[in-house]
Amino acid sequence: ADPEVEAMRAEVLCAMLDQHGCAVLEGLFPPDLLRASLGHPPADDEGASGAASLVGDRRTMQPVPLAGALNTPDLYAHPLLVAAMARALGPDFVIGSITLVTSMPGAQAQHLHADHPPLFPESSAAAWLPAHAFTVLVPLVDLDETIGGTEVFKGSHRSDDTDAVAGLPCAVRRGDCLVLDYRLAHRGMANRSTRTRPVLSIVYQRAWFQDAVNFGGGCGLVVPPAERARIPEAFAGLFRFAVPAAAPRHAR
């Protein structure tokens, strides 16, 4: 809780994200909170979560309304993440989407991809621009080699040559999270277990950025009208571009 220590932690996290494009944060979220979140996705009367879209073999992505156990700053506004995102994206950053990515038993490894194409693909300097968005992956169950995790290609946010980078499997536990630069090459690993692998995805982004690739020009951030009053005033700005119902999406 020491402000100086928290500021140092945020600075180290930003340095890791700048250099590697990814970082694992251990024990960031209370496991009980994530167990409660496992009860989501919510019912249609909580904001119409919308139909899931395929993002690989036996793998879906679905917008999740900010409701129930998900509607808490303990999840969307952890002090370390808020401090780091303010440093990396500017103080007016917003949450762009909250989705649930579910890998079913037997799912094969996902195709290698970044969460968004380069903003300026015609420029050789595009990869060296500051980050415009980060994905925070929060597993709702413990991940291991059998159920699978996410394979990241460290440094690939600064290069198009993923063949020169070795993949690094990240199997984090419930309560941990994996932070990815939106430009980083990564893929979901195969699910060789008999259990479903649900992972919550929260995207923090610069206020001017709109993800028209994954959400069809709409918004992947759903806050039902009845839930807005539960958001503390200090964090209301994070949700200023939210919609009351799910928007259509394109598969990655």
Q: Over the stretch 200-240, which tens digit does the pLDDT of each residue have?
A: 999 999 999 999 898 875 679 999 999 999 999 999 999 99
CB count in 10 Å sphere of residue 33: 17
pLDDT at position 140, please? 95
Comparing C-alpha atoms, which of 117, 85, 70, 66 is closest to residue 241? Answer: 66
Mind listing the pLDDT tens digit for each residue in 70-96? Answer: 999 999 999 999 999 999 999 999 999
Query: Higher-confidence residue: 252 or 228?
Result: 228
Range of weakest confidence among 40-49, 180-189, 190-199: 40-49
pLDDT at position 50, please? 57
Q: How confident is the model at residue 3 (pLDDT cuts 50, 70, 90)?
A: confident
- Mean of pLDDT values over 96-118: 94
Mind listing the pLDDT tens digit for each residue in 132-190? Answer: 999 999 999 999 999 999 999 999 999 877 776 789 999 899 999 999 999 999 999 99
- Could you tell me where the beta strands, DSSP code E, fall in 104-164? 133-139, 150-152
Q: Which residue has the tokens 């259509």?
A: 248
Calculate the average pLDDT of the chain. Answer: 90
Percent of the chain with pLDDT over 70: 91
Angle of helix 79-89 relative to helix 3-20, nearest 10 degrees?
A: 50
Question: Which range, 36-50, 59-73, 206-220, is most confident?
Answer: 59-73
- Mean of pLDDT values over 52-61: 87
Range of weakest confidence among 31-45, 95-109, 132-146, 194-208: 31-45
pLDDT at position 36, please? 87
pLDDT at position 239, please? 98
What amino acid occupies position 217?
G
Comparing C-alpha atoms, which of 17, 35, 140 is closest to residue 83? Answer: 17
- Mean of pLDDT values over 32-45: 70
What is the distance between the alpha carbons of residues 156 and 148, in angstroms, rounded to a whole number? 21
pLDDT at position 249, please? 47
